[in-house]
Amino acid sequence: LQTIVDKTMYRPENRMTAIHYDATRRQLVTAATRPKAWPLRSWEARSGMCHSDSVACALYNPNFHQVVSGDHSSNVCVWEVETGKMRFRFGSAHGTAKITAMAFDKAHRRLITGAHDGTLKVWNF
């Protein structure tokens, strides 16, 4: 997980409209009225692995400055934004069902996860 911050103030018509990952140069390219390249760094050696399958959802929690990600193997991981380190991991959050949706409540204190089998779960955050 890497956080990219662009402190440039944009006019509404300059909001990001396209995104592409350039595997050859290991960079993310974003575009509004002009492209901008973002070099990527690997944190795997420091943060460890969490997801063993495709990540379906990722959410930012502004209360705790953390990102929560959920994958198709039903793992939910909580990451520190500043360091990229994994803080928590919940395995088999929905048993063997794939996580397909996640959201926070309005206060960002509860995480709601949804799975391919139609189940919803609410987690205190």
Tell me which of 2-6, 41-45, 63-67 is least confident: 41-45
Beta-strand runs (E) in 17-124: 18-22, 27-31, 35-39, 55-61, 66-71, 76-80, 86-90, 99-104, 110-115, 120-124
In the chain, % of residues over pLDDT 90: 37
Structural tokens at position 29: 């390219």
- Confidence band of 8 (pLDDT split at 50, 70, 90): low
- Round to whole Å and give the CA distance between 44 and 38: 18
- Round to whole Å and give the CA distance between 75 and 9: 36
Residue 122 has pLDDT above 90, yes or no: yes
Task: Measure CA of the first residue to CA of the last residue in the chain; give whole Å.
Answer: 20
Question: Tens digits of per-residue pLDDT, 18-56?
Answer: 777 777 777 777 776 677 777 776 544 344 577 888 888
| Helix H or strand E encompassing 14 | none
Say which residue, 86 or 43, is predicted with more confidence: 86
- Confidence band of 112 (pLDDT split at 50, 70, 90): very high
Say which residue, 4 or 27, is predicted with more confidence: 27
Long-range contacts of 92-95 (CB under 8 A, 24+ apart): 93/121, 94/119, 94/121
Say which residue, 70 or 34, is predicted with more confidence: 70
* Mean of pLDDT values over 2-23: 64
